[in-house]
Structure formats: C-alpha cells, structure tokens
Amino acid sequence: MEKFVRDLMHRGLLTCTPGATLGQVAVLLTQRHVHALIVVDDDNSPLGIISDYDLLAGEWLSGEPQGLATMRNLTAGELMSSPIDTVESDIPLQAAANTLIEKDINRLLVTEGGVPVGVISTSDFVSSIAKAEKPLRETVADVMSDAILVCRNKTPLTSAARTMTQAGWRSVLVVDANGKPEGVVSGKDLLPFVKNGIDEKLTVRDIMHPALTIDIHAPLREAAELMIQKHHHRLVVIDMTDPQAFPLGIISSFDIVAEMAKPDSIWQK
C-alpha cells in the first residue's frame, strides 16, 4: 500500500520571528529538541528556515571578539535559508525522499492547497522504520557510509567546528593519540556557545559526548530505534566481535532515507 507525506509528517510548525537573535534560536532548538525552526512574519506566513547547521557556519566559530560581536547582532531573518522547499501532503513518500536526497536537505515544509500545515524530515522517515510491523531485510552494513570525520582529542574546538562546516558534516569522531575513539562532538554540542562564543582554550575533549555505537551486522530497524531513543542522527558502526578495533564507518538518518527511496526498497512496494 502506497504511503504519502501526510502519513509521516509532523503537523504544526515550530517557529521563531525574523528578529530573533541567534542566541534565542539556539535556546529554542535546544529546549524543543529539534534541528530547525520555521521563520515566520507577523501574519505567521513562512519566510525561511534556520537550522543548527546555519548556526555552525557563523563567524562566532573563529573565537575572535569582532566575529562574535557580529554574530550577536545577526538575526534569524538574516541567517535563514529562503525560500523554503515545500511538498504537498498528498505526494508519495518516495517523491519526498527523492527531493531530500537530490537537494541534500533534511526537511520539507508540508502544505495542503498551498497552506503550510507541518514539516516532514529525515527523522520522520527513520521513525517509520522503527515502527514497522515487519523487520527490514537490510542491515547496517548495507547502507552505512565508510567515511568518518576524525580529530584528535586535543584539537581546539574552533578548529573542529570549522572543519565540520567545511566538510559538510554535523559531527566528528574524537580519538586519542593511538586512534582509539573517545567520543563524538556534534552540532548540538556546539549550540550553547552561540550566545557567548567559544573559549579558545577549549578542546573537543571538553565538550564531547560518548559515541553511540551499533554493530555492522545489526538490522536497519535496530539502528532506527536507537537513533530515536537517544535523539541521535548518526551512529558509529563497529564490529562487535572486535570492539577495540577502529570504527568501520557511520550510519546516519540520511543514509536510511536514501535506502527507503530506492525503487526496489520494500517501502516502495
């Protein structure tokens, strides 16, 4: 049975005004446990979208007083992405997934008759897998990414943030001098620094969180469930038979959406 955007979307919009400061945006993102807000005008009409990734790309990452002062004066309306990519609620899920992949974005504004009614994101696709009645045939190994962005535990936080932005990654794996994984730094870990800036003395070790791992042979559904339970968008892939070995790769919510979008996927039958 074919599924449509309306079957997975989240109704309602989490919003902010174009005049909201970046510090206020960071607080809202953290409090609501979301990765983006819709920027609306006085009539509640969408103007654009601002995400945690937009905040990562700011000059405040330089740690310089001038850059921080500039960012403190910026507003959501000045940093938001516009126009917003939209999709009608009666569009097949495959079409929506294809749009996310082709445009390399994480969410779409859902409309009904042109009127905004909600949002559908990569997280919604992941959630649908976790709720599936039948286990999927695919495993983590089938859809994971082999590449990993890595840095030493002594790396300055500002350097790691710039590298994440330049590489287009939302997280970096932190390792010790021998290459042993110690933790992960994600965009969410950096959000608290938007308001007051980053102390140049801080290293990735100071703010990293434990890496969330999954076995390379685990079912894809297990990966989806773990992402939802822990509110993570990516997992470090390891071989449980050799847990001390260097990680094999990363699996993200985007990897799972790409798998669902394939014509031969069980989600398209």
pLDDT in tens, 161-197: 888 877 778 789 999 988 888 999 987 787 777 666 6
- Percentage of the chain beyond pLDDT 90 is 31
CATH at 187: 3.10.580.10
Q: Is residue 132 part of a domain?
A: no
Residues 188 and 231 in one domain: yes
Residues 97 and 181 in one domain: no
Q: Is residue 134 part of a domain?
A: no
For residue range 136-168, list pLDDT tens digits in order: 457 899 888 888 899 999 999 888 888 887 777
Q: Is residue 26 part of a domain?
A: yes
Residue 209, pLDDT > 60, answer yes
Q: Is residue 69 part of a domain?
A: yes
Last residue of a domain, one of 127, 152, 171: 127
For residue range 222-256, list pLDDT tens digits in order: 888 888 888 788 899 999 998 788 899 999 887 77
Residues 103 and 191 in one domain: no
Q: Is residue 153 part of a domain?
A: yes
For residue range 16-70, list pLDDT tens digits in order: 999 998 888 888 887 887 888 999 999 889 999 998 777 766 544 445 666 667 7
Q: Is residue 106 part of a domain?
A: yes
Last residue of a domain, one of 66, 96, 127: 127
* Angstrom distances, CA of residue 263 to CA of 1, 93, 94, 148, 259: 14, 12, 8, 28, 9
Phi-psi region of 187 (alpha: psi -120 to 50; beta: other; left: phi over 0): alpha
Residues 59 and 111 in one domain: yes
Q: Is residue 28 part of a domain?
A: yes
Q: Is residue 9 part of a domain?
A: yes
Residues 183 and 70 in one domain: no
Residues 149 and 251 in one domain: yes
For residue range 61-115, list pLDDT tens digits in order: 445 666 667 777 789 999 899 999 999 999 998 888 889 888 888 899 999 998 9
Residues 68 and 182 in one domain: no
Residues 84 and 170 in one domain: no
Residues 236 and 183 in one domain: yes
| Count: domains in the chain | 2
Residues 101 and 170 in one domain: no
Residue with tokens 């959501």: 76
Last residue of a domain, one of 103, 127, 151: 127
Residues 188 and 101 in one domain: no
Residues 103 and 9 in one domain: yes
Phi-psi region of 12 (alpha: psi -120 to 50; beta: other; left: phi over 0): left
Q: What range does the domain containing 60 cover?
A: 5-127
Q: Give pLDDT, residue 159.
A: 87
Residue 262: pLDDT band (50, 70, 90) is low
